[in-house]
Amino acid sequence: MSQRTPLLAVTLLALVRIAHAQRANENAVAEASDAFGTAIGREVVGLYTAGSARGFSPVDAGNLRISGLYYDQVRLASLSSNILRGSTVHVGISAQGFPFPAPTGVVDYQLRTPAATPGAHVSLGYGSYDHAYGQLDVEHPLGERLSIGAGLGYGLKTVYKFARRTDEWTAGTIAHWQPTDAIEITPFYGATIHRERGARPVVYIGHSGIPRFRPVQLPAQSSWARWGYDASNFGATVRARMGEGWLLEAGAFRSAAQIPIDDEVFLTDTNGFGQGDYSISESPPHSRSSTSGEIRLVKRIVTAKIRNSLYFNLRGLSRTGESGGSDIEDLGSATTRWAPIIPKPDFHTGPMTVVSAKQMTPGIAYEGVWRDAGQVSLGVQRSFYERTIAVPGTDEISTRATPWLYNAGAAYFVTRKLIVYASSTRGFEELGRAPLNAANRDEVLPAQMTRQVDGGIKYLFTPSLQLVAGVFKIDKPYFDLDATNFFRQIGTVSNRGVEVSFSGALTERFTLVTGLILIDPKVERETGGPARATAVAIGPKPASFSASMAAASAGVSCRISQEGLGAASDMAPR
């Protein structure tokens, strides 16, 4: 054994002890105010996440915030865990206190602000599907008003597409600078390098039954079939208190992803026996990027009975993405357990389509909170949106829209313990991308008008234990493949549901977060005439239950989580 080994062991032990002192208070269960989605570090509790809320995706809808400020994240470019402390999903009554809510719900990311004291954190983990990870984060003050943090991470077999082997490296740095008592500036940078080797097929279900299989047991193609991306996010937030109740908040962000390797394996029209058509495609290297941000001026007027907040807001984004150009090799039949292993075909990829979008949205909003009486929130915005499609060999196609958007919500304190709430929101949201089996695969869809109404009750058993129960209805355009395999709008979808949250401290040492959601998704398809066909939408879980518990004793917390009640397939029949 070398002389350095004991020193290394002591150093790692010291880092772990420092980590316990720094992160022991990070507990998603204890910090969750409801069961509608809270993430702290790698721990996630509640019904909803950034990728799924009320049957839709806040990420696809463009409803993300960083410290409350508008942020447009391109696909694959998630914020690095080295700079991200956690996130909260705002729906129902919690969205009323959030400026300019959106129909699909808003996900607010909280950055990991470096502390004013030195610290380090080492985390190691092993989970399902042989997923393992390690991460090191450090933070240190540079004077009384500036502190910095940085981190590195590595993940093995990170679950994304269930390839034979997956490697992921992450890095990030963040700073917190307070030049005066009234001004705070938080710049950050995060990066991810993701590589997969030995691709397994993406399974699309046909009309002859539903196959049963586990993704990790699908046959893997030889190591030449690879996929990966390089992603980055950087930006800064600024907060300045200007006196007399005025507050200036601003954020500017850049999100980008480059896909240098893109081999995709497919098993399409798969029947109940697991038999389908096997094919492999390759796309040329492509990229996508977005610059976004928000500037907001807030005026607060507080009296003995009411707290008034007036918001003057401006949001904007400029996004560009490439898609298409792929070449596909059909390889005949295969199953969910067997597929031919072949050398790499001679692919002939082509030029790519470029889709760009620009959007500017000014708005004004008001929030009034009456002590022990209730609250009212109102907002109006005007969106100026332009989308351009540049297909090689054809003229550019541009579309513009200038819709008016609004939100209105109210909550009434029936008693000191019982609150009744309701809200209505009209939004202009993104709808994600075309699937990989579409003729216009990976193309960003245009923003569309969406609507939401919800209402319910909130009951306080104790100041730290509450029940929230509500109903909601969300209407959006519905996109699917048409007869020519082109992904376009073919109707409308309506998600109606019931959601329940019961959360809080049962005792001084025992915390519970439980939630239940029931969704009835309906699609009205165009039929070419005045009539419209109605069907059940494929995708959202019809019922989901989540329970998380935390018991703290002598500074140690243990957590138990369970989800279930059944699910629907997220792959529509093709």
Q: Which pair of tokens denotes residue 228?
A: 């990966």
106 in Cβ contact with 90 (< 8 Å): yes
Element (H, E) at 53: none
Strands 202-205, 246-270: pairing is parallel
E strands of 181-274, at which residues? 183-197, 202-205, 226-243, 246-270
φ and ψ at residue 507, rounded to 5 degrees: -140, -175
**What does DSSP assign to residue 14?**
H
75/71 Cα distance (integer angstroms): 13
454/425 Cα distance (integer angstroms): 9
Longest dimension (CA), the chain: 83
Q: 175 forms bridges with which residues in the sheet? A: 148
Element (H, E) at 518: strand 510-526
Helices (H) and strands (E) in the chain, counts: 4, 31
- Segment 108-127, tens digit of pLDDT: 999 998 988 899 999 888 88
265 in Cβ contact with 328 (< 8 Å): no
E strands of 91-182, at which residues? 106-111, 119-126, 132-141, 146-156, 165-180
- Segment 499-552, tens digit of pLDDT: 999 999 988 888 899 999 999 999 888 766 565 677 776 667 788 888 888 876
E strands of 324-464, at which residues? 327-335, 353-370, 374-382, 384-390, 397-401, 404-413, 418-429, 448-462
**CA of residue 473 relative to chain centroid, distance:** 21
Q: In this predicted structure, what is the pLDDT of residue 160?
A: 74
Q: In this predicted structure, what is the pLDDT of residue 568?
A: 35
pLDDT in tens, the chain (574 residues): 444 444 334 333 333 433 433 355 577 887 888 989 998 888 888 999 999 999 999 998 999 999 999 999 999 999 999 999 999 999 999 898 788 999 989 999 999 989 888 999 998 888 877 889 999 999 999 999 999 999 999 999 877 777 889 999 999 999 999 999 999 999 999 999 999 999 999 999 888 888 999 888 899 987 899 999 999 999 999 999 998 999 999 999 999 999 998 999 999 999 999 999 999 999 999 999 999 999 999 999 999 899 999 999 999 999 999 988 999 999 999 999 999 999 999 999 999 999 999 999 999 999 999 988 999 999 999 999 999 999 888 889 899 999 999 999 999 999 999 999 999 999 999 888 888 778 787 788 888 999 999 999 999 999 999 999 999 999 999 888 888 888 888 889 999 999 999 999 988 888 899 999 999 999 888 766 565 677 776 667 788 888 888 876 544 444 444 444 433 333 332 2
- Give the alpha-carbon dihedral of 89, 94, 97, 101, to 10 degrees: 50
399/383 Cα distance (integer angstroms): 14
185/240 Cα distance (integer angstroms): 9
- This prediction has a pTM of 0.88
**CA of residue 252 relative to chain centroid, distance:** 19
φ and ψ at residue 273, rounded to 5 degrees: -90, 5
206/307 Cα distance (integer angstroms): 57
Domain ranges of the chain: 4-339+347-564
Q: Which pair of tokens denotes residue 161?
A: 């597409």
562/514 Cα distance (integer angstroms): 9
258/192 Cα distance (integer angstroms): 11
User: How many angstroms separate the Cα of 531 from the Cα of each of 489, 525, 534?
Assistant: 16, 9, 10
Q: 183 forms bridges with which residues in the sheet? A: 180, 240
- Give the alpha-carbon dihedral of 38, 39, 45, 50, to 10 degrees: 80
Q: Which fold has domain 4-339+347-564?
A: Maltoporin; Chain A (2.40.170)
User: Which single residue is written with the structure tokens 């059940």?
Assistant: 536
User: Which single residue is written with the structure tokens 């005066």?
Assistant: 180
406/404 Cα distance (integer angstroms): 7
User: Please, is 151 exposed, middle or buried when counting C-beta atoms within 10 Å of its C-beta (0-12, 13-18, 19+)?
Assistant: buried
125 in Cβ contact with 151 (< 8 Å): no
